[in-house]
Amino acid sequence: MSKGDLPKLLSALKEFGEVHGPVRYGKFHSFRRVDSADEMDLSYTRTMIPPKKYFVRPREEILRVNLRRGYELLREEPRNIVLFGLHACDINAIKVLDSIYMDEHPDPYYASRRERTLIVGISCLPDDECFCRSMGTDYAYDGFDLFLHDIGESYILRVASERGESLLEGADFLKKPEREDFMRLAEFERRRASMFKKELISSHLPDVADSLHDSDAWNEYVSRCLACGSCNLVCPTCRCYDVFERVDLSLENGVRERRWDSCFLRSHALVAGGLNFRPTRFDRFVHRYNCKSGINVETGLPYCVGCGRCTVFCPAGIDHVEVLNSVWGVVR
Amino acid sequence: MELQEEQFVPKPAEILDIREMTSIERLFSLRFLDEEYERSFRYMPGQFVQLSVYGVGETTISICRSQTRPGPLELLVRRVGRVTNALHRLRRGDVVGLRGPFGNWFPVEEMEGSDVLLIAGGLGMAPLRGVLQYVLDRRERYGDVNLLYGVKSYEETLFREEVLEPFERDSGFRSFISFEKDDPFYEELMRRNPERVRKGVVTVLFELADRYLDPKNTYAVVCGPPVMYRFVLRELDRRGFSPRKVYVTLERRMRCGVGKCGHCIIGGATSITYVCKDGPVFSYFDVLSIRGAI
Ligand SMILES: Cc1cc2nc3c(=O)[nH]c(=O)nc-3n(C[C@H](O)[C@H](O)[C@H](O)COP(=O)(O)OP(=O)(O)OC[C@H]3O[C@@H](n4cnc5c(N)ncnc54)[C@H](O)[C@@H]3O)c2cc1C
Ligand code: SF4
Ligand code: SF4
Ligand code: FES
């Protein structure tokens, strides 16, 4: 389809629900509700807060409690959303979250939002901090409904679900791609591949991270780390949450809510008696890298999708790739 | 996909009875208000529930009885923090919320035909009591049953009648007790049963129990404070117990109980493991391959 027909595509998608896309907001980008194509900046690199915010809110009420009657699931007004313009790394990250939140005990809040969200991917070009190519997450094979491959003046539209297909029924702005279009696609992919500057030595990453758990190589970075937890909040695959409960002043009704949590906080691994399984900043720092260096067994995808957010938004300038490569360096 | 809301919404359960066990521990007997649910509620020794006090919050508690024994669900709760303090303020007839049962259990079926060695420290007796009851209720299917229980004093001993019964009469298992504080009751018991009672930490009991232990044909089940594991596992190792036949139950902070909130993750990149759904029961063999497990 021609890029000029984007508004037509959007109005077809609006049949499904509200469209949310990448919007420039001050210095950064953020996924927000959009009404028209020109509100979006489709050449963005990364948003600060990843799309996980649509499925697990930074803070959300999950149960209502009445002090005499007990707990009740809080249901929200169901709402269909089109997440427009997701990059491959974020799509892969959502697949990882899906495997956690929709496994044998599907999380009712996550699952219902996830089912009501249509995902439209878009191809992208890396900046200096992207390393999805090293992680094998620079391409999304599935986990979306539609995907737009940028080939200059137009897009090649990849359809990956029946839902996506049915929304396009009768769309007269779609044309069958020609041979040249596919050549442009190949050219685009070649150019994109050559643009990655950062490389994480990801071979044997799980083993390396594990076996160097006690290495001094971490120290230099640990001593700079502020333990602020920003890297957790911006990470598209970080999904820890904490739970709180509060009652109103009448002591009659209350809510249980959950909030994004961070393994950098002291309370994360605290158990009764004040015993802490990760008492020091070193323990917590290494824990995070260990967690991010694992492979999700259900999807076969790494827990780090190489989006670069944690590096870009770390107030101490700690570079995820540099940390792991330097730890790798110790073994080589 | 079936949305399992019931896993997330605590079900109301009435406190039928509260028994003072020690100065900080009480045994709560509970029954779900929904009779249908009460009848279908099944659990195994080692599993846990998430217990909510309305308006205060939720906490993780092991089920401390075996379903082979008729009677209500029992939870032994130590008063340590927000939720457990609030629970201790409740009375018979009050209602709490329960989710579960969650987690895996001790392999009581696989253990059939073998001897059983239970090693408990302090509050660790709570989850092991379910195993003990299960085994005693199917007594003919198991060999020798030995309990090594380390406590601080008589006052702090949990399930006193049950663990001390073998000193009075044959109750299907042998009980060994170690105590740490000066304690007239245990000093007297030790004088009468020097081959079963000793002063010190739980590992001093191995010497007493050794002549009854057959490491080749025994399943060992261990539960206690985290520091205890290292010492007990070393003793078991030394005696040639197979790491695949030694089981422990681990404690971690838990919020969801079903593998979502990430708090109970142990292990690193090669072995990310959730205590809530992959455990809380692990074999010593698992523990050796999961870094930071104990
Ligand atoms: C599988 C499993 C089974 C269990 N079974 C049992 C059981 O059968 N019986 C039982 O009594 N317990 C059991 N526990 C332990 C129980 O879950 C904890 O003791 C419980 O979390 C206490 O909840 P609480 O809300 O009352 O305490 P919290 O208010 O959460 O406090 C617990 C402890 O954490 C420490 N703490 C909390 N916040 C802070 C802070 N900000 N700074 C420093 N320290 C802090 C305190 O030392 C406090 O004593 C089990 C735990 C697990 C994981
Ligand atoms: S964002 Fe940077 S400073 Fe903050 S916790 Fe993460 S690594 Fe440490
Ligand atoms: S660890 Fe950093 S680079 Fe990797 S997915 Fe998370 S935020 Fe992105
Ligand atoms: S308790 Fe939440 S992941 Fe285990």
Give the per-residue pLDDT at B41.
Answer: 92
In which band, very low, low, confident or very high, does the pLDDT at A213 lie, cut at 50, 70 and 90? confident
Q: How far is the CA of A57 from the centre of ligand 4 (A)?
A: 18
Cβ-defined contact of A269 to B258 (cutoff 8 Å): no
Same domain, B120 and B245: yes
Average pLDDT on A33-51 reads 91
- Kindly indicate the confidence band of residue A82, based on its pLDDT and cuts at 50, 70 and 90: very high
Using CB atoms within 10 Å of the CB of residue B71, give its burial: 0 to 12 exposed, 13 to 18 middle, 19+ buried: exposed
Q: Are residues B62 and B130 in the same domain?
A: no
- Residue B1: predicted pLDDT: 39
Asked if residue B277 is part of any domain, the answer here is no
Answer yes or no: is pLDDT of A332 > 90.
no
Measured between CB atoms, which of A205, A239, A244 is closest to B262?
Answer: A239
Contact call for residues A119 and A83 (beta carbons, < 8 A)? yes
Inside any domain, residue B280: no
Q: Do B53 and B126 reside in the same domain of the chain?
A: no
Q: What is the mean pLDDT of residues B208-222?
A: 94
For B102-118, the pLDDT digits (tens) are 999 999 999 999 999 99
Q: What is the mean pLDDT of chain B?
A: 92
Instruction: Measure B69 CA to ligand 4 centroid, in angstroms.
Output: 30
CATH number at B47 reads 2.40.30.10
Q: What is the pLDDT of residues B237-268, one digit of tens each?
A: 999 999 999 999 998 889 999 999 998 988 87
pTM, to two decimals = 0.90
Structural domain count of chain B: 2
Task: Identify the weakest region by mean pLDDT among A175-179, A267-271, B135-139.
Answer: A267-271
Is B4's pLDDT higher than 50? yes
Q: Is B137 inside any structural domain? A: yes
Any idea what the CATH number is for the domain that residue B179 is in? Answer: 3.40.50.80
Domain check: are B87 and B201 in the same one? no
Total number of residues shown for chain B? 294
Most confident of A164-173, A275-284, B147-156: B147-156
Q: How close, in Å, is residue A151 to chain B by CA atoms? A: 38
Asked if the Cβ–Cβ distance from A244 to B57 is below 8 Å, we say: yes
The model's confidence at residue A259, banded by pLDDT at 50, 70 and 90, is very high
Asked whether A260 and A241 are in contact (CB, 8 A), the reply is: yes
Is the domain of B23 the same as that of B87?
yes
B9 touches A71 (CB < 8 A): yes
Instruction: Give the mean model confidence (pLDDT) for residues A304-315.
Output: 93
CB B278 within 8 Å of CB B258:
no
Tell me, yes or no, whether B70 and B146 share the same domain: no
Same domain (yes/no): B84, B120: no
Contact B22, B39 (CB under 8 A): no
Within this chain, do residues B149 and B184 fall inside the same structural domain, yes or no?
Answer: yes
The better pLDDT of the pair B82, A202 is held by B82
**Chain A residues with beta carbon closer than 8 angstroms to that of B253:** 267-271
Average pLDDT over residues A188-200: 90
* CB spacing of A241 vs B5 below 8 angstroms: no
Domain extent, residue B77, equals: 5-102
How large is the average pLDDT for residues B159-171? Answer: 93
Q: Reduced to 3 states, what is the DSSP secondary structure of residue A174?
A: coil
Query: Which residues have a Cβ under 8 Å from the Cβ of B169 and sit 6 or more positions away?
Result: none
Residue A237 clears pLDDT 80, i.e. is over it: yes
Instruction: Give the model's confidence band at B28: pLDDT under 50 very low, under 70 low, under 90 confident, else very high.
Output: very high
Looking at residue A118, its pLDDT comes to 95
For residue A144, is pLDDT > 80?
yes
Token duo for residue A317: 């300038």
Number of other CB atoms surrounding residue B18 within 10 Å: 17
pLDDT higher than 90, residue B66 = yes
| Predicted confidence (pLDDT) per residue in B86-99, tens digit | 999 999 999 999 99
* Calpha distance A290→A212 (Å, rounded): 10
pLDDT of residue A200: 85
Select from B76, B102, B128 the last residue of a domain.
B102
Of B3, B269, B277, the CB nearest to A205: B269
Please check whether residue B175 lies inside any domain of the structure. yes
Q: Where are the alpha helices (DSSP H) in chain A?
A: 6-14, 88-101, 108-115, 132-135, 162-167, 179-194, 205-211, 219-224, 230-234, 281-292, 309-312, 320-331
Mean pLDDT is lowest, of A12-26, A55-69, A204-218, B175-189, for: A204-218
- The answer to whether B57 contacts A243, with C-beta atoms less than 8 Å apart, is yes
What pLDDT is recorded for position A273? 66
B258 is a domain residue: no
ipTM: 0.87
Residue where a domain stops, chosen among B68, B102, B136:
B102
**What's the distance, Cα to Cα, between the start and end of chain B in Å?**
36
Q: Is residue A329 over pLDDT 80?
A: no
Indicate the average pLDDT of chain A.
Answer: 89
* For residue B11, pLDDT beyond 70: yes
- Do B92 and B175 lie in one domain? The reply is no
Residues B98 and B124 in one domain: no
Are the CB atoms for A44 and A27 separated by under 8 Å?
A: no
Q: Choose among A70, A258, A263: nearest Cβ to B95.
A: A70
Shared domain for B152 and B180, answered yes or no, is yes
Q: Does some domain include residue B271?
A: no
Task: Answer whether residue A274 shows pLDDT above 80.
Answer: no
Q: How confident is the model at residue B291 (pLDDT cuts 50, 70, 90)?
A: confident
Ligand 3 atom 2: the closest Cα is on which residue?
Answer: A310
Confidence (pLDDT) at A279: 73
Both B166 and B227 in one domain: the answer is yes
Give the confidence band of B2 by pLDDT, cuts at 50, 70, 90: very low
Residues in chain B closer than 8 A to A245 (CB atoms):
55-58
Assigned domain for B158 exists: yes
B263 located within any domain: no
